[in-house]
Amino acid sequence: MEHFPFPDDLVQAQRAWLATYRELATPRPYRNTALRRQLLALSDRVWRHPFWSTPAGRTPAARVELRRVVRRQEQRGRSAA
């Protein structure tokens, strides 16, 4: 598995995106419109992050690995609690 040097702000934005997506996916989410707007803003922040213009960020595997990193961090956080 290749290691990518993800910046902290990119990881935080992806983590916030995932949390917002999960909240929006719940049945009858509270604040539906606000959550959709937040998800769009976070999508834009992740998509346009300067990391993607670096050599490491230009590979398709980098985007997949970012999601994996965030999910692993969340799983570790849940198991530690």
* pLDDT one-digit tens code per residue, 23-81: 999 988 788 999 999 999 999 999 999 999 999 999 889 999 999 999 999 898 777 66
* pLDDT the model gives residue 80: 66
Extract the runs of DSSP E, i.e. beta strands, from 1-81. none
Q: Where are the domains of the chain?
A: 8-80
Q: Exposure string (b/e) for 44-56, b if CB count within 10 Å is 16 or more?
A: ebbeebebbeeee
pTM equals 0.87
* pLDDT one-digit tens code per residue, 11-21: 999 999 999 99
Distance of alpha carbon 81 from the chain centroid: 21
* Cα(78)–Cα(72) distance, integer angstroms: 10
Distance of alpha carbon 18 from the chain centroid: 5
Residue 59 φ/ψ, nearest 5 degrees: -90, 145
